[in-house]
Structure 1
């Protein structure tokens, strides 16, 4: 991630004149990414997650209620009502959980099964939650076709997710390891292609807004940090290390490439800029969160080994 994301962004910015026409390919690339992710989740894992309904409800409430409201309030205060940057902050807050959170949850001693199930469940509800949240917060301030947003999310998120889980069940869990030698590298290439193409699409706007970056960069940085802190505070009542770590990363990490797709298809390019900035920030912030988690649990004397 530390290599793929910045390199892909740089390539997109430098070669945008040749790449920006590739945006029509992005939904198909993204659907493939979603399918590969869902291959790793079985119906049994989903059933296990459903046995922790309170953790699921709290996580979804933090991601789809508390964070979008905070993004809307802070964004409006900083940039004014109806600003595309406010739309971008809200999009980052409301989009589904990030697949890369699985890696960090595993490294930090959380529940991989729970976070995988949360990602799949959130992918299933996102076609309904995302357009409704945007419509509820912005109303008449912006105009977008929420039915088309819902339809696109069903095609690029819901259908591949259901197919991936179904193939996992049909193959009795063998599909993931069997396809890994091909799916792992091709999904990384697809992810890089999504970032490159979307970076190319917004490059002209980024080049034209140098003065505004002074306010926008700190705002995005603080908001990504806020999302991690929100997850941490919201998870503390559970006390168990596995649930606390899982909710923290679930709240902090988002499926940013999906946010860019939605921003570029349904809003002006400026709305995608905060989302692109967040993709650079959320991985380094995950490293910091990992270090803080490690120190916290060591001081608690849990006896749990957390990877360095």
Structure 2
């Protein structure tokens, strides 16, 4: 039975691009109403994916990464320093007279790391402890960093529900990650086969549901007309720039390693767009929220495309690790 799920886990890992695209497609043509039930499904899916991703990681590796924070600091500089500057310059080139859209680009480039970066990093053989620490640190500093950033850029004071952010982080990232690493050490890696077969298979099904639910949420917000084509192209450029910045940034670090490179690509390239959308809609006109909303169309497909590009260049052991 495990061999059956192991085969389909590998197959899905090699075809995640189509899994993500199909989830987006069904989310747009058959959207479900955003309710507490579907929010719970998304949260539980995230929690399960994080747990499975951590089953192959030692708790000792996590604390080793935590005790050497310079790589994480460099990632945060790329995310909250260089990437917003790139987004600002791109917005200035294509929309010099539209302050709202340029602000939307800035907010979209400045929000915390997306939690799914941990999942993609794990599937591609990335540094899971590094990814976990990066997501944790970024979310912890966001209640302080984001209000300060928006106050400087937009001259507008906002308040972020830091308690809600931290609770969401604990349930979706910190607790399942630590639990998975503790189980790994306690069983001495005995559940690696589960993570690469049954557990990995259902984690990829969980990714489908997460993308489907997010697509359903943004579908009513998008009006498909001729004016949106240019905006889509600009957002695509910014989205690609984020992944490219993570790739380039990994070569600046001493002792370049593939697993670190994978983690930086997804850590710098993926954002918590749900948080960005909530902020934009709560404090600014709808035009500011449009870039953040539309960026959801690209984030997961680009992540899957990058996985497709990275996988053939590596050995079979790197095709999937879930």
CA displacement at 1:116 relative to structure 2? 0.7
Consecutive unaligned residues in structure 1, runs of 5 or more = 107-111, 295-303
Could you tell me the TM-score, scaled by structure 1's length?
A: 0.73
1:226 aligned partner: 241
Unaligned 5+ runs, structure 2: 1-15, 282-288
Aligned position for 1:192? 208
Evaluate the alpha carbon distance shift between residue 290 and residue 169 of structure 1 in structure 2; reply closer, same or farther with a 3 A threshold: closer
SS in 2 for 1:210: coil
Q: 2:19 maps to which residue?
A: 4
Following TM superposition, by how much is the alpha carbon of 1:125 offset from its aligned partner in structure 2, in angstroms?
Answer: 1.4
Deviates more, 1:65-74 or 1:177-186: 177-186
Deviations 1:27-67 (A, max 9, x none): 34333333333344322111343465433332332233322
Q: Give the count of matched residue pairs.
A: 284
Within the candidate set 122, 125, 131, 1:119 is matched to 131
Q: How far is 1:263 from its partner?
A: 3.8
Assess if the C-alpha contact under 8 Å between 2:50 and 2:173 holds in 1. yes
Query: What do the CA deviations read for 1:171-200 (whole angstroms, capped 9, x no partner)?
Result: 625374375355333332322112111111
Query: What whole-Å deviation, never above 9, does each CA across 1:126-164 have from its counterpart, x for those lacking one?
Result: 322334343233225667541x2x333322323443323
1:63-109 CA distances to partner (integer Å, 9 max, x unpaired)? 333223433443465443343742563256754544212333x3xxx
TM-score, normalised relative to structure 2: 0.71
Contact kept, 8 Å, 2:250 with 2:261, in 1: the verdict is yes
**Partner residue in 1 for 2:300:** 279
Q: Does 1:102 align with 2:100?
A: no
- Structure 1 counterpart of 2:263: 250
Instruction: Return the alpha-carbon distance in structure 2 between the equivalents of residues 51 and 224 of structure 1.
Output: 31
Cα displacement (A) at 1:257: 8.5
Partner of 1:66: 82
8 Å CA contact retained: 2:28, 2:216:
yes
> Partners in 2 of 1:31 and 1:50 — Cα distance?
21
CA–CA distance in structure 2, aligned partners of residues 305 and 239 of structure 1: 27
Residue 152 of structure 1 is matched in structure 2 by: 164
- 8 Å contact from structure 2 (residues 239, 269) kept in 1: no
1:14 Cα shift? 0.4
- Within the candidate set 259, 262, 272, 1:259 is matched to 272
